[in-house]
Structure 1
Amino acid sequence: LGRRTYDLWSGFWPRAPSSPMGDALNAATKYVVTHHPDSLEWGPFEGVGPDLVEGVRRIKSQDGPGLVLSGSSTLTSTLLEHGLADEVLLAVYPVLLGTGKRFFAEGTPPRTFELVSTQAFPSGIIFTTYKVAGPLKAA
């Protein structure tokens, strides 16, 4: 998690009513990219830093469940740039906000993806899963 996502979630999930997602998040180790791991309270947690790339490589080399990154366009761009993201899951909502933050940071290297699955819901929300295929090759 990026620090901002961690701060948002730590204000909600520990006190939320029991649910499959909430219970899983509360029990899971949260790997938090931060310069101040001493200020983390919602555990179990581990601070990742100051070298994000080396920290994620170390965590991925360990036995355990796969890592999931939620939100954080900055972290997503960094992980893609360094080949540390295996899949990208996107949720498309039938809402046009008209403004907002870019999903990928300016300068993110072009990448190609292979569609793994899609799931459409009656609400109009569509979940897509893509496998990271590699850099975009010039034609």
Structure 2
Amino acid sequence: MRKLVLYTLMSMDGVVESPDRYIFDFDEVMYANLARTIKSQDTVLLGRRTYDEWAPYWPTAEEQPFADFINEVPKFLLSSATPTVPWANTTVVSSPVADLVRRLKERPGGDIGVHGSIRLAQSLLADNLVDELRLVIAPAVLGSGRRLLGEGDEQLRQWNLLRLEGTPSGAVLADYQLAR
């Protein structure tokens, strides 16, 4: 069965929105980590807000290895409306996200990735659909902003540490697997 892997950039205090506010140096170890993550993925899920921000940008972007990956990979946009900006290899899905994820996990293939898409990531976590977390924790504290793990999520989940590595810029790469 395929895994759903959530890759996210975050501050030390858990803020995940607007990573340009706290990621100042994306160093070579962080690039290698990103390349390792996307190499195993052959499908990506996107929320509407992330899609609307990324669709006009990534088709002409040159930031590698992510630009080629995100433009070529099949993308599933979770939305009830058709986007105004088309993006190659995108399928709009209005069915419940849990149903889509279960169907995708049953198909053969590589990992299913989630990048950005805070609300989507939160709903996947709440529904216990995330198999691995790949966190890039920046050495910065913001104090305010949207967090991946917010209040109101009362369900206890245990995660097993798979990998922990520091980077030259001071970030921490932490990979966790959901303990089932």
Report the TM-score when normalising by structure 1.
0.86
Matching residue's letter, 2:132 = E
- What does residue 137 of structure 1 align with? none
Q: 1:6 to 1:18 in 2, by over 3 A?
A: same
**Contact 1:74–1:104 (8 Å) recurs in 2:** no
Q: Measure how far apart 1:37 and its partner are.
A: 3.2
Find the partner of 2:177 among 115, 124, 131: 131
- In the TM superposition, residue 122 of structure 1 has moved relative to its aligned partner by 0.7
* 1:131 counterpart SS class: strand
- Between stretches 14-23 and 53-62, larger displacement belongs to 14-23
Aligned residue for 1:36? 81
* Structure 2 unmatched ranges of 5 or more: 1-45
Q: Distance in 1 between matches of 2:119 and 2:151?
A: 10
Larger Rg computed on CA atoms: 1
- CA RMSD between the two structures: 1.8
Which 10-residue stretch deviates more, 26-35 or 42-51? Answer: 42-51
Asked whether 1:68 is paired with 2:119, we answer no
How many positions carry a matched residue from both structures?
A: 134
Return the letter of the residue paired with 2:169.
S
Deviation at 1:27, TM superposition (A): 0.4
Determine if contact 1:32/1:48 at 8 Å carries over to the other structure: yes
Instruction: Work out which structure has the larger RCO, using CA pairs closer than 8 Å and 6 or more positions apart in sequence.
Output: 2
Kindly report structure 1 stretches of 4+ aligned residues shifted beyond 6 Å.
none
Please list the CA deviations of residues 35-84 of structure 1 after superposition, one character each: whole Å capped at 9, or x if unmatched: 11354511201122231111111122112221111123322232223231
Give the residue type in structure 1 aligned to 2:161.
L
**Cα offset for 1:16?**
0.8
Aligned to 1:83: 128
1:101 Cα deviation from its structure 2 partner: 1.2
Amino acid at match of 1:46: T
Identity of aligned residues (%): 34
Distance (whole Å) between structure 2 residues aligned to residue 130 and residue 79 of structure 1:
15
